[in-house]
Amino acid sequence: MAGRGKAATGEAGDAIIIKKYANRRLYNTASSSYITLEDLARMVRENVEFRVLDAKTGDEITHSILTQIIMDEEANGTQQMLPVSFLRQLIGMYGNSMQAMMPSYLEASMANFRDNQSKIREAFEKGIGATPFAAIHETNMAMMRAAADVFLPGLAKGKGKAKPAPAAPTVESRDEIAVLRDQMAAMQKKLDELGK
């Protein structure tokens, strides 16, 4: 696999050029070697910029290759990340008048999640379940409710009333503290797995 920061020649700048041949093989021009979809997935996780081009036509096919990686991860992974209800709603957005807004909304949602991921992890590590996590959660839920009102107005009727933030739990015994710590450890493990 190519090292970070190596750039291929061309107008890609710092992006590595990957060529996809008719035999479905992927060729990394920076390392002069054939690679797999798993290698591309690893490059994404390591924040290595790349573009995938059809070797015959020169057309950029990065989007379809990244979509293929997601499909493979969903099919072969031990835990699916995309719930069926989300997939149905996403498919329903194709052809909808709001379709043009979805890419920027999804990018903003993912950026918000990534920005808050370290804050969430820190909250669980410190054992603070109510303060920063609750605020982040409430912000995310408000954003999702607002998006549902805009993108799926019929769905939000009757459910659109904002619920008040949950009150901070009172811990009355050591057993309850132990249970909370176990739950936080389980959530930390899930966050660590998502971060890989």
What is the per-residue pLDDT across 133-144, written as a single tens digit (0 to 9) for each?
566 666 666 666
Residues 71 and 88 in one domain: no
Residues 44 and 125 in one domain: no
Residue range(s) defining the domain that contains residue 183: 84-195
Q: Give 97-156 pLDDT, tens digit per residue.
A: 888 888 998 899 888 888 888 777 777 767 655 555 566 666 666 666 666 665 555 554
The secondary structure of residue 31, as a DSSP letter, is: T
The mean of the pLDDT values for the chain is 76
Q: Give 5-42 pLDDT, tens digit per residue.
A: 333 334 446 899 999 998 889 999 999 999 999 999 99
Residue with tokens 């992927």: 26
Residues 56 and 95 in one domain: no
Supply 95's token pair. Answer: 């052809």
Least confident of 19-33, 42-56, 164-178: 164-178
Residues 64 and 88 in one domain: no
Q: From CA 31, how far away is CA 17, in angstroms rounded? A: 10
Q: From CA 115, how far away is CA 117, in angstroms rounded? A: 6
Residues 61 and 91 in one domain: no
Supply 152's token pair. Answer: 């799926």
Residues 91 and 156 in one domain: yes
Domain count for the chain, please give it: 2
Q: Is residue 116 part of a domain?
A: yes
